Amino acid sequence: MIQGMTRFFVRLCEKYLPDPYLFAAILTAITFVLALVLTDFGPIATLQAWGGGIWGLLAFTAQMASIMVFGYAFAKTPAMERGLAWVCGRVRTPIQAYFIISFTTAVISWMVWSVGLIAGAFMAKEIAKRVKGVHYPLLVAAGFSGFLIFQNGITGSIPLMAATSGTFSEPMVGIIPVTQTIFTSWNLFLSVFLGLIVIPFIMTRMHPKKQEDVIELNPSIFPSDPVVVVKNKKDMLPNERIENNYLLNILIGGGLGIYLVLYFIKGGELTINSTNMIFLVLGILLTPTPIAFVRRCAEGAGTVGGVVMQFPLYAGIQGIMVTTGLASVIAGWFVAISTATTLPIWTFISVGIINMFIPSGGGQWVVQDPIMLEAATQLAGADYARVTMAFAYGDCWTNAIQPFWALPLLAIAKLKAKDIMGYLVVVLIVMAVVVIPVIYLWP
């Protein structure tokens, strides 16, 4: 059954799924039309909402680009390359490869989502070089699949914002502590059962039965690192001595490292910015020379084109959804048919749908969560915490088929969205089958 479903969706995506940039462009057109039909905004006003929102994700774009550059530089340090080689060297068969990479990235993503976002790409490259017969598109999809539980982990933006004082939700329902969201029995069960058992197992079941259908890694897409000849110090020019002096790495990396320690001692949280600084500090300290770190960052910068090009389109879509009230209209449909017990389920589904248009979890939370929490206050017996976590799961759910989050992984793995999306559609279906009953039935 899984094999047949996989073949169907893989062929469908290979034939019809456009490049992620065109996907975003088509999604923009659909959003524009929906705003005209479902809201009171006319063409000019909607156009202004679109243009006004284009740079709404500029800071987030820079953060994601930094993750890719500094994460790449960190992953290419000698220590990390040896560590990855050791972990990936334990893998002996394709089936082990799919399971281990999905399992590992799920654990990492649950703890630090931004690290899990790119870890799968580097593991997939390393495993594909070592294991014969592994289907590279499926391996990369497995590397991304672990990321799909990040919002229910300890760095998930939705439950953390709900637990933070001063947010818009506090006057409505108060602060919702993480003991009622992340660390509830049902969420911990789902994290383990879905992220560490079900999804890794499903990935192993999608390996092509016919050997001729297996697409192995083409080593030529990853050229070998250029050989850098390091001169003896006595033969170096003054500028070359500075470029190859590790003391500079110690001064810069060590100084930023001390700042990070003080930041966390004073109660600083693990955010995208602090994660980027961790990558930066470790990349500098673990790279032998300053000029070597510069070269690694330059290589990593070659992967950010898709992010810089496509994120403004998604920001424009978000601008339409928010300014015209289209997101509220769609959310309102689901609230209208909800009861106290079904509100978490309809929250999960509605968030999953709107996530296709506003793929930034924090941005969507600001737009849609007030509607869902207001409904929870009006429906006697509704569980605010469960609605919040249903929101988090819905945000993760359709990330499986939203190219927005896969862009960093695809850029590093040198694949296209259509190469992995068919496998992730199967994961999408499985997630719904597992998550909805638990949200509804768990006491």
Size (the chain), residues: 443
What residue spans define the domains of the chain? 2-217+303-441, 235-301
Among the residue ranges 142-146, 184-188, 313-317, the one predicted with the least confidence is: 313-317
Q: Who contacts 205 (Cβ-Cβ below 8 Å, separation ≥6)?
A: 2, 3, 6
Q: How far is CA 52 from CA 153, 248, 319, 357, in A?
A: 33, 43, 7, 16
pLDDT in tens, 53-87: 999 888 888 888 888 888 888 888 888 888 878 88
Contact 347, 353 (CB under 8 A): no
Average pLDDT across the chain, whole number: 89
Q: What is the rounded distance in angstroms from the CA atom of residue 339 to the CA atom of residue 36?
A: 30
109 token code pair:
């993503």
Q: What is the rounded distance in angstroms from the CA atom of residue 355 to the CA atom of residue 395?
A: 6
Q: What is the rounded distance in angstroms from the CA atom of residue 185 to the CA atom of residue 191?
A: 10
Is residue 227 predicted with pLDDT exceeding 60? no
Buried b (16+ CB within 10 A) or exposed e, 246-264: eebbeebbeebbeebeeee
Predicted local confidence at residue 89, as pLDDT: 85
Predicted local confidence at residue 347, as pLDDT: 93
What value, to the nearest 5°, has the Cα angle with vertex 314 and ends 312 and 318?
A: 115
Rounded to an integer, the average pLDDT of 239-250 is 89
pLDDT in tens, 95-128: 999 999 999 999 989 988 877 878 888 899 889 9
pLDDT in tens, 275-298: 889 989 999 999 999 999 999 999
H runs (alpha helix) in 175-289: 185-190, 199-205, 238-243, 246-265, 272-286
